[in-house]
Structure 1
């Protein structure tokens, strides 16, 4: 099943800090590894509070990351995504411990996991490592370029 994830709600549950500069990117890195190891290929993560020029969505490895512009909240973006999915929403898992997001997931008949439950699943998968006989594949050039573009700042370009 594909996942819709409330990113900022998950960050502290997975052992990261919301006040860290790279909290979103660290979460996405962990979720990419989780997706690779668990063969879950459909994860959409929503973060609110993106600066105007950073808002929008990006494909980061196996993850589709939605950076909701400042002034809007990820909860509303997740609700809108569930509405857009219509009856297909029942085939998705919504990950959040936020009551409003949970209510919207229930209304859409989506499966619900709390951030704590999903964090446990992610941690177990990451600690288990790759399935026997599978080697870790190196990062592609395109994926490396995507990460470099995300982490580069205007100062880096000077």
Structure 2
């Protein structure tokens, strides 16, 4: 199955808290959930040169830095009385070239607004799986016998290696 995000420079508009709710290891109750997601998105953007990402969150937590922009990611926090969905829909209606964008959301109203403008919509759960795969290092392959504990060579093995490599042991007078 081909990855729908591979090597694409299509800009993304992301429903931030909607995506956090789908990310393994992230929780909406975390004080720094937005920053954690932004770090993952930065890695994603870096792996996809030319990718620009705009992520919209509901109101930020008091004392939480709202300056998370950089490395291909632009963040926005909705201000009361509006929520992120309202801000996302407003942005969707002003996108100049809608066919060039992708919206990441699981919110029905946001998805409908994007589809009405001809913008591709990716479900947050689907994007979360892709993001997780791309930002999690692949497990190292174990070599044959890796489960066996390492043992030190005995003296006869050391002597054999020294002989093979021309480093025969010299007798040192005591």
**Same fold at TM > 0.5:** yes
Displacement over 3 Å in runs of 4+? 50-58
Max radius of gyration: which structure? 2
Of residues 41, 57, 66, the one that matches 2:76 is 66
Q: Do structure 1's residue 102 and structure 2's residue 111 form an aligned pair?
A: yes
Q: Do structure 1's residue 35 and structure 2's residue 12 form an aligned pair?
A: no
Structure 2 equivalent of residue 126 of structure 1: 135
Normalising by the residue count of structure 2, what TM-score does the alignment of the two structures yield? 0.66
| C-alpha contact 2:55 2:74 (8 A) present in aligned 1 | yes
Give 5+ residue unaligned stretches, structure 2.
1-9, 139-174
Deviation at residue 40 of structure 1 after TM alignment: 4.9
Spell out, residue by residue over 1:106-127, the C-alpha distance to the aligned partner (whole angstroms, 9 max, x if none). Answer: 1111001000111111112113
Structure 2 equivalent of residue 90 of structure 1: 99
Query: How many residues were matched structurally?
Result: 128
Give 5+ residue unaligned stretches, structure 1.
130-158
Q: Which has the higher strand share?
A: 1
Q: Do structure 1's residue 7 and structure 2's residue 16 form an aligned pair?
A: yes
Please identify, of 67-76 and 98-107, the stretch whose mean Cα deviation from structure 2 is larger: 67-76
Spell out, residue by residue over 1:59-81, the C-alpha distance to the aligned partner (whole angstroms, 9 max, x if none). Answer: 23320001111321111111111
User: Aligned equivalents of 1:66 and 1:59: distance in 2?
Assistant: 9
Structural RMSD (CA)? 2.3
Deviation at residue 4 of structure 1 after TM alignment: 0.2
